């Protein structure tokens, strides 16, 4: 009897090992109409799913079945599921979302995208962890300063785009603000980048935060740099941050500003353009595009929160017209999220003194791209055009 039990246990061991072997990272390519998406499953005690091209990470996954031969998963957050069979070291199966099945073969491991511009220590400049107060919030960030500092070293506050962002404005495994800080420090320019309130190491209320709240946070960052002895303090804002830069300039707060793909049209017009252009790139017919845009805008208005209410109504034009400090505004001509010609045109009309520059072939992140679609961000190795980085650094360094 004892021998029989031991033999049974011995026979089960390979199956147990195989079952445990399913744990870990698995990834594959999902071909959907108009695009290809990387699907990454992290199988373990708390299983999750990532879709890197969409910037989606940590989507909760429920394991329904995990044996030596099969894997069944539910992804309730996106109304999807996956079922597959082990075949020669791969899991061959079907990903189903809202009743629509797509073949998906998973292989061991997660993709490791190349990001050659992301700075890696040791740095040829100084970095310091800092924090400063903004109302009830304590904002945590990184101050990067050139190795050779003088009393004339300019300093720049980096202000991120919409949505909660960390100090590096991390997106699709890119770290644009870390790249900017690195490039600037090497050119003799200091930068302060910080986690948005209520995100990363920063505290503060985000449920009731609006663009004006984030503008006030950036104002406090400027004051912090001045308290550290910097005489020339400017703002570089990306996307919504670019609009915030103009808002601060209208209040005569910074000594100079750089708007990178900053919104000059109203929030509602910007949203409508984003949605329409994105669907157009996917090949959707015009009538479908128009209907979807109207439906989405209506949903935003029917389910308001402080930020969306402010964003849709926000008109940057009065702020742009009041800016009196030196202004550099840049846009990529393939930008799908903030239309280059329309927005730079408004800035040129309202503020003839501004230097407004468009860059052919660059998207919203200022990457060299094919179409400008947001689905390209992840697969492009470049984080930001070296030409844009050099032009901005040169403009700041040559300010009187």
pLDDT at 162: 94
What residues does each domain of the chain span?
22-108, 126-265+316-397
pLDDT at 14: 41
DSSP state at residue 202: -
> What is each CA distance from 31 to 34, 36, 101, 329, in whole angstroms?
8, 5, 11, 38
Q: What is the helix (H) or strand (E) element at residue 311, kind and residue range? A: helix 306-313
pLDDT at 33: 79
Q: CA 234, 240, 242, 246: dihedral to nearest 10 degrees?
A: -80
Q: What is the DSSP string of 322-353?
A: H--S-EEEEEETT-SSS-HHHHHHHHHHH-TT
b/e 7-35 (16+ beta carbons within 10 angstroms → b): eeeeeeeeeeeebeebeebbbbebeeeee
Hey, is 309 helix, strand or coil? helix
Answer yes or no: CATH 2.40.128.120 is held by domain 22-108: yes
Q: Which top CATH class is 126-265+316-397?
A: alpha beta
pLDDT at 21: 67
Model-level pTM?
0.88
Tens-binned pLDDT, residue by residue, of the chain (400 aa): 444 444 443 443 343 334 456 899 999 999 987 788 999 999 998 999 999 988 899 999 999 999 888 999 999 999 999 999 999 889 999 999 999 999 999 999 998 899 999 999 999 999 999 999 999 999 999 999 999 999 899 999 999 999 999 999 999 999 999 999 999 999 999 999 999 999 999 999 999 999 999 999 999 999 999 999 999 999 999 999 999 999 999 999 999 999 999 999 999 999 999 999 999 998 899 989 999 999 999 999 999 999 999 999 999 999 999 999 999 999 999 999 999 999 999 999 999 999 999 999 999 999 999 999 998 999 999 999 999 999 999 999 999 9
Tokens of 326: 């030196």
Residue 182 near residue 119 (C-beta atoms within 8 A)? yes
Cα angle value 191/177/280 (rounded, 5°): 145
Is there a cis peptide before residue 122, judged by omega within 30 degrees of 0? Answer: yes
């Amino acid at each position: 009897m004892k021998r029989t039990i031991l033999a049974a246990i011995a026979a089960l061991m390979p199956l147990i090992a195989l079952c445990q072997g399913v744990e870990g990272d698995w990834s594959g390519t999902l071909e959907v109409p108009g695009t290809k998406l990387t699907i990454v499953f992290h199988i373990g005690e708390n299983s999750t799913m990532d879709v890197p091209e969409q910037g989606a990470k940590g989507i909760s996954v429920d394991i329904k079945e995990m044996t030596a031969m099969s894997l069944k998963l539910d992804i309730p957050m996106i109304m999807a599921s996956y079922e597959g069979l082990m075949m020669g070291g791969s899991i061959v199966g079907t990903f189903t979302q809202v009743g629509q099945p797509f073949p998906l073969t998973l292989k061991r491991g997660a993709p490791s995208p190349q990001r050659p511009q992301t700075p890696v220590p040791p740095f040829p400049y100084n970095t310091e962890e800092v924090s400063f107060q903004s109302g009830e919030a304590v904002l945590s960030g990184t101050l990067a300063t050139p190795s050779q500092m003088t009393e004339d070293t300019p300093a720049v506050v980096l202000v991120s785009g919409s949505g909660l962002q960390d100090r590096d404005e991390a997106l699709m495994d890119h770290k644009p603000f870390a790249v900017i800080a690195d490039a600037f420090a090497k050119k003799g320019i200091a930068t302060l980048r910080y986690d948005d309130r209520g995100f990363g190491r920063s505290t503060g209320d985000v449920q009731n935060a609006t663009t004006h709240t984030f503008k006030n946070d950036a104002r406090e960052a400027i004051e912090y740099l001045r308290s550290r002895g910097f005489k020339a303090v400017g703002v570089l804002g990306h996307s919504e941050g670019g609009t915030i830069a103009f808002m601060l300039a209208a209040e005569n707060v910074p000594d100079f500003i750089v708007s990178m793909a900053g919104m000059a049209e109203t929030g509602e017009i910007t949203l409508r353009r984003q949605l329409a252009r994105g669907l157009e790139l996917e090949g959707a017919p015009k009538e479908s595009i128009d209907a979807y845009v109207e439906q989405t805008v209506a949903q935003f208005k029917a389910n308001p929160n402080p930020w969306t209410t402010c964003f849709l109504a926000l008109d940057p034009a009065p702020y742009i017209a009041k800016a009196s400090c030196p202004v550099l505004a840049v846009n990529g001509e393939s930008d799908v999220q903030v239309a280059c010609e329309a927005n730079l045109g408004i800035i040129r009309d309202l503020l003839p003194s501004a230097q407004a520059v468009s860059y052919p072939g660059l998207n919203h992140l200022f990457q060299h791209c094919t179409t400008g679609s947001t689905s390209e961000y992840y697969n492009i190795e470049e984080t930001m055009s070296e030409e844009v980085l050099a032009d901005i650094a040169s403009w700041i360094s040559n300010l009187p």
